[in-house]
Amino acid sequence: MATTEGDAAAPQRRAAWILLAPFLVLFLGTFVAPIGYAIYQSFIRVERAGLFGEEGTTSSFAGLRNYAEAFANNEFVGSIGQMFLFGVVQVPVMIAAATVLALLLESASARWPAAFRAAYFMPYGVPGVIASVLWSFLYVPGLSPIIDVAALVGIDIDFLGPSMVLWSIANIVTWTYTGYNMLIIVAQLKAIPAEIYEAARVDGAGPLRVAGSVQLPLIRPALLLTIVFSIIGTLQIFAEPQILQQVSTAVGNEYTPNMAAFDAAFNYNDYNLAAAEAVIIALTAFALSFVFLRLTNRGQR
């Protein structure tokens, strides 16, 4: 906690601002300004005179028209719905897997925990794009050894078909980030004092009981952190579907909200619509995280 009662003395305040300045300036410039600009752009539309605007273009206030257009676009709305579906399944599965792995690794019965930890964490170092390229090879019939092996036992998998491709993407995301989330949980697990384990053992609790009543509640902060970041991450998914688009006809140009905004900006040159969509995405992420944190905080009180 800061030391002084009341504000710090003037030279100290000055120093504080000097230290703060670079970060603050950059933050304002690369976060606040763009969001402000996006909000501004989202309320504007461009009027074009002539066949293509060659006789002049004017910007005019558009009210909520861009937002209405965004919500009237079935693809964009569909993409948000798709991400909800994705998030509701993939995030719990990934966090649960990360938790189980963390608990297993930290349990008495695990051999070579350091080696396993390393193996699970390693995919985090692979950028999502590269992971998608890798997995896309593993999804394409004719190249994929997985499909070949499954065919040996008579299972016919189509990773890139319309019903499966969302989960193929989920697989890539899970593969990349489970280890990372697991490590955060492991860190929290290691912070549990030994006395608590002693007390549990004295009480006769077996490993499963310890996990449920002791460990899970105490790693709550880590779980919250990973879930919130995963929610935000889900809304941002872009690279994985874009790479899979090259091998799957089921992935359209507006498969995720980010792809839709990118599409609006660079395929249709409608920067105003793209700005509205970007604002919608940011607000949704913010709202979801906020609501989630609120709900869980209330439980904690």
Which of 43, 76, 86, 262 binds another protein (CB under 8 A)? It is: 262
- Compute the least distance from the CB of residue 62 to another protein, in Å: 10
Which of 70, 94, 160, 285 binds another protein (CB under 8 A)? It is: 285
The interface with another protein within residues 117-136 (CB under 8 A) comprises 117-131, 133-136
Size of the chain in residues: 301
- Compute the least distance from the CB of residue 89 to another protein, in Å: 18
Q: Check if the beta carbon of residue 120 is closer than 8 Å to that of residue 179.
A: yes
Alpha-carbon span 259 to 268, nearest angstrom: 13
What per-residue string of b and e applies to 59-73 under the rule 16 or more CB within 10 Å gives b? eeebeebbbebbeeb
x/- mask, another protein, residues 182-211, rule CB under 8 A, reads -xx-xxxxxxxxx--xx-xx---xxx--x-
From its phi and psi, is residue 193 left (phi > 0), alpha (psi between -120 and 50) or beta? beta
The interface with another protein within residues 41-80 (CB under 8 A) comprises 41, 45-55, 57, 69, 74-75, 78
Tell whether residue 173 is a contact of another protein (CB under 8 A). Answer: no
Crossing angle of helices 220-235 and 74-106, rounded to 10°: 150
**Residue 26 or residue 295: which is nearer to another protein going by CB?**
26
The interface with another protein within residues 77-96 (CB under 8 A) comprises 78
Which of 67, 71, 84, 104 binds another protein (CB under 8 A)? It is: 104
- Compute the least distance from the CB of residue 242 to another protein, in Å: 8
Q: Where are the beta strands (DSSP E) in 235-283?
A: none
Q: Check if the beta carbon of residue 59 is closer than 8 Å to that of residue 272.
A: no
Which of 86, 227, 239, 241 binds another protein (CB under 8 A)? It is: 239
Alpha-carbon span 91 to 233, nearest angstrom: 10
